[in-house]
Amino acid sequence: MVSQVAESPSTALISGETGTGKELVARAIHRLSQRNDRMMIKVNCAAIPANLIESELFGHEKGSFTGATERRIGKFELAHKSTLFLDEIGELPLQLQSRLLRVLQEREIERIGGRTVIKTDVRIIAATNRDLQKEVIAGNFRSDLFYRLHVFPIQIPPLRDRKEDIPGLAAHFLVKHARKGSQSPTSISPRVMRQLMAYDWPGNVRELEHLIERSVLLTFGAVVDKLYLQLPKPVASDISVAGRRIKTIEEVEREHILAVLKLCDGKISGEGGAAEKLRIAPTTLSSKIKRLGIKRGINGNS
């Protein structure tokens, strides 16, 4: 799909969960396009305050508003004859969506406070981790802008739905984050690879890369033989405020210890044991297990 849309001037809308690689896909489209002799310009619509994003996109003239001490060239002008990547387009304020639609249709802009119409030749690639069709129904996104952006949609699946990519991605990140000037791991053990394949990856490819980078830093040998996954925090929704029974601290502690024991196959002390994961002494953990009535020797189940 990237190859199909790259050579055309059509607008592409990339959708997918956070961490799936939407910006990488956008860069691939630009790199394969006829505009690749110019730099792709990126705007993160979620990172710019609402009162500044209009100036960021379209520019402003000196004195057009308080603080405008000099002329500013907007991203649309900078992206002339190139590609403009509008990341997190679903975060764009409603009042700016109509102006963006007009710019996309007419291919011309006016700086804030300016009187000159500036023609632009910009190829638009937008990305979002939201379901824009649902946002349209909810009244948070203009339907006409959605259909203007939805010319060539690309949906990136989450990593949990394409686990066959994990070995290749892990090997790539192992090379990318290899320590320079010292021994660095060059492979991943079969046991760790099975753990990678079994994990659901809520943070997608970004989470996988960070995990491999952390593993490279913590492994002193040729093989990554231990998985340095950070344990999820207890889910807040377990605590009720609507009449259901609220769990006691002991119950929450018991469930957490059980989960860690299961992760460590019932091992309490030593490298990779539950005490190490919980950052407490093995004797302290053994006392807690006894006090909380957790049975031993059955892989963390009670």
Q: Per-residue pLDDT tens for 65-112?
A: 777 778 888 899 999 999 999 999 999 999 899 999 999 999 998 888
**Count of CA atoms in the C-beta half-sphere (13 A) of 283:** 0
Domain ranges of the chain: 2-156, 160-224, 236-291
Q: How do residues 212-229 score in pLDDT, each as one tens digit?
A: 999 999 888 899 998 887
Q: Which amino acid is at 140?
A: N
Task: List the one residue out of 95, 84, 86 whose CA is nearest residue 50.
Answer: 95
SS3 content of the chain, % helix, strand, coil (to 5): 45, 10, 45
Indicate the class that CATH gives domain 2-156: alpha beta
The pLDDT of residue 299 is: 47
Mean pLDDT of 180-198: 89
How high is the pLDDT of residue 297? 54
- Residues 109, 63: contact at Cβ < 8 Å? no
Segment 225-239 mean pLDDT: 63
Query: What dotted CATH number matches 236-291?
Result: 1.10.10.60
> What angle in degrees, to the nearest 10, is found between the helix axes of 190-198 and 166-176?
120
* Strand pairing category for 108-109 and 118-119: antiparallel
Structure tokens at 223: 């093989």
Percent of the chain with pLDDT over 70: 92
Query: Comparing 63 with 21, which gets the higher pLDDT?
Result: 21
pLDDT at residue 152 in the model: 96
Q: Is 16 or 115 the better-scoring residue by pLDDT?
A: 16
**R_g of the chain, CA atoms, integer Å:** 26
Domain 160-224: CATH class, spelled out: mainly alpha
Find the largest Cα–Cα distance for the chain.
78
- 41 beta partners: 84
What integer pLDDT is reported at residue 232 of this predicted model? 54
| pLDDT of 298 above 50 | no
Alpha-carbon span 263 to 260, nearest angstrom: 5
pLDDT at 301: 45
- pLDDT band of 181, cuts 50, 70, 90: low
Average pLDDT in the chain: 87
Distances (CA, A) of 299 to 95, 129, 163: 56, 38, 26
